[in-house]
Structures are given as C-alpha cells and as structure tokens.
Amino acid sequence: MLSFLLPIIICVLLIGFSVGKPYWREYKRGVIRKKPFNKQWRKIIQQRMPYFRGMPADLQLQLKQHIQVFLAEKEFIGCNGVEITDEIKITIAAQACLLLLNRKTDYYPKLNTILVYPSAFVKEQQIRNTDGVQYTKRTALSGESWELGKIVLSWQDTLDGAEIPDDGHNVVIHEFAHQLDQEDGSANGAPILGKDQDYKSWSDAFSKQFELLKKQALSGSPSLFDYYGATNPAEFFAVASEVFFEQSNKFNHYYPTLYRQLSQYYKVDPVHW
C-alpha cells in the first residue's frame, strides 16, 4: 500500500512546491523591500546617478527597494582584476532598476550573473564570408546581454554613462533593455507589453523610426538616436530606451508617438521629473 501511495505523495509535494514557489519568492522580496536602506548605498546613488535627485520621492523609494531585491538575487563577478565593491554593485543596480519602476516585475528573471570588466572588453567571433572563408573577428564592446543568464559590462563605460545623464548614452540601460526584450525569447525589439498596449501600435511606431534611422545612418544625417540602433530592431529598442531616460524632452518633442509607447511600457514619464 505504501509503495502505491509514495509516488502520489511525492507528486503532490512537487506540485505544491511548484505552485507555492512564486508566492514564497514574492514573500521574501517583500521582506527585503521593508528593510532600511543602507545610508552608504544612498550616497553612492546620489554620487553616481545624478538624475536620482530629480526623481519624484515615490520613485526614489521604489528604486531603492528594487535595488535591495536586485542585489539579493543577482551575482556580480569581477573580471580581469576587477574587485566587486558596493560602489560597483549599487551603480549598476540603480540604473538597471530604473527600468522596473511603477510596474509589476520579476527582476529580470532570466538574469543570474553580471560580469564586470575594468574597461571595454574584446569579443571574438568566427565569421564566414561570402566565399566560404572563415576568419576571427575581434570587437571591443562596452556591454553585452546574453540570453543564458548573463550580462557583461565595462565598469569604465558604466561610470561614463552614469556621469553624464543627458547625453543619450548609457550602457547599463542599453543592456538591461535587451534583458527585458529577451524575456519572451530572443531579442526582437518587441518586449512583453502591458494590457494597456497593443503590438500593432508598438510595431507601427517603432518600425517608422527604425526605417528612418537606417536611412540617416546610410546618409550620415544627424539623428537623436545612435546609428548603432539601425543594426536591427532589438538594438533600436535598446538605443531608444537610453534616449528615453536620458534625453526625454528632445525625444518627446521630435518623436511624440514613439515616446508615448515607451512611456506606456516603462510606466514613467521622465519629461516631468
């Protein structure tokens, strides 16, 4: 009799664990969010994230609570001699959590590890040309988002991006926007939208500006968006996210339809900070 019941009991326990795990995880996050925020961490945010001081008080509080959960759940690893400090963790976490405000979040569920290099790192790729000849291409990168649970960042580029909050360039925002885009599979420029948005309106707004940016990149015409955004829709979403947070007034002035889409998605309106 016991041998008959044992598989059933195990099955019930496994189902119970699977069903209860999200609730237990959210309970732990709630406990973490209620903890007092470290005063030294606040000093780091104020020093390394200039636009924090201009954010509404409720968003500042949200951001600090998100940072606490983020640090509890993600692992930071220093590469090429980088020693992970609170300054590194808080500077990166504060900018990453900026993308999570005012909406339900699972804190980048696919992400486990942030690898931090001292400066731009070199990536090697095996490329095959049209003649079938294979060669190694070396590219210097300031950041990279992997689908398999990792983000790679240059600490120097992270500092540079945070120090100037209105130049439209921020490697942390860029790479974590990719993580949001990758939550439903491969990055394609269409992240999971809320119930108040529809993919057709999103696609219409993004496609129009993406095609314009490609033309501007080919002709060398000036653009609010970095030409790198013309690479593909995923890169355009990441580049547009940088500009949304860092040059919101210009973005809203020149591209109001696209700005509204991102404002609805991120649930914030930086123009009024």
d(CA 161, CA 43): 18
Share of the chain above pLDDT 90, in %: 75
Of 15-24, 157-166, 222-231, which gets the smallest average pLDDT?
15-24
> Is pLDDT of 115 > 80?
yes
Task: Please state the CATH superfamily assignment of the domain spanning residues 25-187 in this structure.
Answer: Glucose-regulated metallo-peptidase M90, N-terminal domain (1.10.472.150)
Q: How confident is the model at residue 120 (pLDDT cuts 50, 70, 90)?
A: confident
Contacts of 57 (CB under 8 A, 6+ apart): none
Does residue 236 surpass a pLDDT of 50?
Answer: yes
pLDDT for res 131: 55
Taking every pair of Cα atoms in the chain, the longest distance, rounded to a whole number of angstroms, is 78
CA gap 94, 77 in Å, rounded: 17
Q: What's the rounded mean pLDDT across residues 46-54?
A: 89
Q: What is the pLDDT of residue 186?
A: 84
Answer with the residue of higher pLDDT: 174 or 12: 174
Mean pLDDT of 182-207: 94
Residue 191 · residue 237 · CB < 8 Å: yes
Share above pLDDT 70 across residues of the chain, in percent, rounded to a whole number: 85
Give 89's contacts (C-beta < 8 A, 6+ positions apart). Answer: 71, 76
Residue 16 confidence (pLDDT): 45
Strand partners, 154: 117
pTM: 0.87
* CA-only gyration radius of the chain, Å: 21
Q: What angle do CA 228, 212, 162 make, to 5 degrees?
A: 40
On average, the pLDDT of the chain sits at 89
Average pLDDT over residues 35-51: 94
Domain ranges of the chain: 25-187, 191-273
What is the CATH topology of the domain spanning 191-273? Collagenase (Catalytic Domain) (3.40.390)
Q: How confident is the model at residue 51 (pLDDT cuts 50, 70, 90)?
A: confident
**What is the predicted pLDDT for the residue at 127?**
57
**Backbone phi, psi, residue 111, to 5°:** -90, 130
Q: Measuring CA to CA, how many Å separate 180 from each of 106, 107, 116, 234, 266?
A: 10, 9, 20, 11, 11
Instruction: Give me the pLDDT at residue 185, please.
Output: 86
Mean pLDDT in residue range 211-220: 97
Q: What is the DSSP letter of 109?
A: T
Please give the angle made by the CA atoms of 121, 44 and 102, to the nearest 5 degrees: 90
Residue 18 has pLDDT above 60, yes or no: no
Q: What is the pLDDT of residue 64?
A: 98
> pLDDT tens-digit profile of 64-80?
999 999 999 999 999 99
Give pLDDT tens digits for 82-109.
999 999 999 999 999 999 999 999 999 9
Looking at residue 22, its pLDDT comes to 77
The more confidently predicted of residues 44 and 11 is: 44
111, 151 Cβ separation under 8 angstroms: yes
The answer to whether 226 and 169 have CB atoms below 8 angstroms apart is yes
pLDDT of res. 82 = 97
Residue at token pair 């991006």 = 161
Look at residues 146, 142, 189 and name the one whose alpha carbon lies nearest to residue 161. 142
